[in-house]
Amino acid sequence: MKQKVTKIGILSSGGDSPGMNAAIRAVVRTGIHHGLEVFGIMRGYSGMVEDDIIKMESRSVANIIQRGGTILKTARCKDFFEYEGRKKAYNNLKKRGINGLVILGGDGSFRGAQIFSSEFDIPCIGLPGTIDKDIAGTDFTIGFDTAVNTAVEAIDKIRDTADAHDRLFVIEVMGRDAGYIALHSGIATGAENILIPERKTVMNDILDSLEEKEKRQKLVNLIVVAEGDEFGGAQEVANVIKKKLPNLEIRVAILGHIQRGGSPTCMDRLLASRMGYHAVECLVEGKHNVFVGIVNNKMHYTPLNEAVKKKQVISQEWMKIVKILST
């Protein structure tokens, strides 16, 4: 019979994402609502290994729903890759009686949780917190919407100056090896071309269309490139274009870590609150070692050992729309 969960720990791991604080708040307050003791584990799995664990009260999570980053801090922990490190982590939980964990992070963090829960009797629940939206089993991840909106705001500003100078801008957005941020922000800003790792880029087509636009004096062009694109990023794409079309004035903008920060959007706050609440419900109800997702606006639970990176399937409809609307 499964042991009743009475004390739970929450940690954030891997790259931070806006909305993590809203999720921590939801986990702490739902836990307290159920009469559980809740502990915050600092710096991801590192805090578990190094025994940096603090008791959380309802007031510990006051005034954080609107803040980016994570009050628990985050890290990528090497020690947790080793059995010895995980054993140390387990002992630190055990001595406090912590018998349930919520892990806020990406697929790498879920893999750590899966190994940990299979070695030791601590049920783990994952919450998908990453700006990359690259996890199968959920339509959205906590932080993606904010990151896309940050990118859209930045690209809109770039369009103003691109227009003033009649320039071509190649703009790089984050996403690791996934193209979702590029796809969504590119469509929303009316980019002429969107380069993503999941779709083969035919550079000659891009060059042909730029040449054709140059002839008819359409000189303002925005190309949004995902950092994981096959060309190796915006600078490389700009170099290829410059070689073939030397008359074009080209500038490169790499948006970088601004996409990871800032106050979460309403959508991310709602997502984080709903998912955080359900993470604790899972622990209480005995639905263990899954991560919490939302598919078609309904809760969806995927076993941690099935947590995989999601490969984008881009609908032909979207690509057609991008082409028609950017002429």
Q: Which residues are identified as catalytic? A: 132
Q: Is 309 in the site for ligand F6P (CB under 6 A)?
A: no
* 133 touches ligand F6P by CB under 6 A: no
Q: Does 112 bind ligand F6P (CB under 6 A)?
A: no
For ligand F6P, which is the closer residue by CB, 9 or 197? 197
User: SS3 of 261, please?
Assistant: coil
The CA-to-CA distance between both ends of the chain, in Å, stands at 63
Nearer to ligand F6P among residue 15 and residue 112 (C-beta): 15
- Per CB under 6 A, the list member of 131, 148, 282, 307 interacting with ligand F6P is 131
Which one, 116 or 144, has the nearer CB to ligand F6P? Answer: 144
CB of 226 to ligand F6P, least distance (A): 9
Does 47 contact ligand F6P by CB under 6 A?
no
Question: Applying CB under 6 A, which part among 127-135, 275-283, 288-296, 313-321 lies near ligand F6P?
Answer: 127-135
Give the DSSP per-residue string, 174-220.
--TT--HHHHHHHHHTT-SEEE-TTS---HHHHHHHHHHHHHTT---
User: CB-wise, 172 or 192, nearer to ligand F6P?
Assistant: 172
Site residue total, ligand F6P (CB under 6 A): 9
Is residue 6 helix, strand or coil?
Answer: coil
Q: How many CA atoms lie within 13 A of 62 on its CB side?
A: 4
Site residues for ligand F6P, window 145-184 (CB under 6 A)? 174-176
**Nearer residue to ligand F6P within complex by CB, 132 or 268:** 132
What does DSSP say about strands 124-128 and 290-295: parallel, antiparallel, or unpaired?
parallel
Stretch that binds ligand F6P, among 35-43, 52-60, 125-133, 261-269 (CB under 6 A): 125-133
**DSSP conformation class of 296:** T
Residue 252 in tokens? 């490169």
> Of these, 107, 132, 145, 229, which contacts ligand F6P (CB under 6 A)?
132
Residue 226 sits in the site that holds ligand F6P (CB under 6 A): no
- b/e map 164-184, b = 16+ CB within 10 Å: eeebbbbbbbbbbebbbbbbb
- Dist CA 20 CA 250 (whole Å): 37
Select the span of 40-48, 110-118, 128-136, 288-296 touching ligand F6P (CB under 6 A).
128-136
CB proximity list for 64: less than 8 A, separation 6 or greater: 21, 22, 24, 25, 71
State the nearest-atom distance from the C-beta of 196 to ligand F6P, in Å. 13
Shortest distance (Å) from residue 320 CB to ligand F6P: 27
Q: Per CB under 6 A, which region of 26-34, 129-137, 197-205, 209-217 contacts ligand F6P?
A: 129-137
Q: Are 195 and 175 in contact (CB under 8 A)?
A: no
d(CA 327, CA 152): 20
The DSSP secondary-structure symbol of 166 reads: T
Q: Give me 210's structure tokens.
A: 């730029």
Rule CB under 6 A: is residue 126 a binding residue for ligand F6P? no
